[in-house]
Structures are given as structure tokens and as C-alpha cells.
């Protein structure tokens, strides 16, 4: 019985240590004033399961860039624009939209317009504005709740 309790306790502590890394990273992303491409890639890659929990922002960015979710000219350290974040979320969550949104394969411009039309962005949102971690999480929650 003592051995059983010891093994269960050991497994529990190991799992806590494994998942705490992800929670710390998500907290760090939320507290960010201006989100980078690498941080957005880590968050989305964790959602998709294509990025390890202990991956760096650069590693996460490289994985998603190879999948075609970022432009070739983008770098992990660059601050992400709102329209690019909309395009990333639209591709990841498989958002359905209008004709131009579909024809342009969820381009940044039409992803931004589609998100505004769906009410996921405020009417005064600017496509070139930088995004905070809190706003990125809020937008992701709106998108995942409304994408069917």
C-alpha cells in the first residue's frame, strides 16, 4: 500500500512539473504588451499540438512557418500586426467566411475584415496595430467559440 501511494504521488508530482512549464509560458504571453510572431506561434502551436511545451518561440515559429502559417519574410522576433494574427487564427481554426475571404485563402487583409464583420474585433480596430497578449487571448477565445 505504501508503495502504491508513493508511486501515485511521484506520478502526480511529475505531471505537475511537466504542465507548469506551459502555464508559465502562457502567463508570460498574456502579460506581453506587444506580441511577437514567435509568441503567437508558440500559443497556436500548443493549441494544435504541433509544438512541444518546452519549445522556444523561435522553434515554434519555425514549425508553423514550415506549415505555411507565416509569410516567408516574417521573423520570430517581429511584432505581430492585428491583421496577421487574424490570418493565423483563421487558418488554424478553419473559420468560414465570405467570398473574398475564401478566394484569397484567408489572406491577412480579408481575415481582418471578416473578423470585424463577425464582431470579433471592435469597429475602430486598425489592421496594422500591434496586439497585446491579453487581446490576443481574448480574440482567440472569440474565434474558437464562433468558428463552426
Residue 114, pLDDT above cutoff 50: yes
Cα 93 to Cα 47: distance, rounded to the nearest angstrom: 10
Q: What is the mean pLDDT of residues 133-139?
A: 91
Q: Which helix (H) or strand (E) holds 79?
A: none
Q: How confident is the model at residue 118 (pLDDT cuts 50, 70, 90)?
A: very high
Average pLDDT taken over every residue of the chain: 83
pLDDT value of residue 2: 60
pLDDT at 22 over 50: yes
Q: What is the pLDDT at residue 19? A: 45
Q: What distance lies between CA 53 and its chain's CA centroid?
A: 13
In this prediction, residues 102-113 reach a mean pLDDT of 88
Amino acid at each position: 500500500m505504501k508503495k502504491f501511494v508513493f508511486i501515485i504521488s511521484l506520478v502526480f508530482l511529475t505531471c505537475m512539473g511537466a504542465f507548469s512549464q506551459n502555464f508559465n509560458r502562457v502567463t508570460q504571453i498574456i502579460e506581453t504588451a506587444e506580441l511577437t510572431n514567435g509568441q503567437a506561434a508558440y500559443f497556436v502551436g500548443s493549441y494544435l499540438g504541433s509544438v512541444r511545451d518546452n519549445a522556444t518561440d523561435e522553434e515554434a515559429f519555425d514549425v508553423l512557418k514550415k506549415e505555411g502559417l507565416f509569410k516567408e519574410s516574417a521573423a520570430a522576433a517581429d511584432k505581430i500586426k492585428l491583421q496577421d494574427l487574424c490570418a493565423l487564427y483563421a487558418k488554424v481554426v478553419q473559420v468560414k467566411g465570405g467570398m473574398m475571404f475564401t478566394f484569397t485563402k484567408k489572406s491577412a487583409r480579408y481575415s481582418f475584415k471578416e473578423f470585424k464583420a463577425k464582431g470579433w474585433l471592435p469597429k475602430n480596430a486598425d489592421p496594422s496595430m500591434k496586439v497585446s497578449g491579453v487581446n490576443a487571448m481574448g480574440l482567440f477565445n472569440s474565434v474558437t467559440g464562433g468558428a463552426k
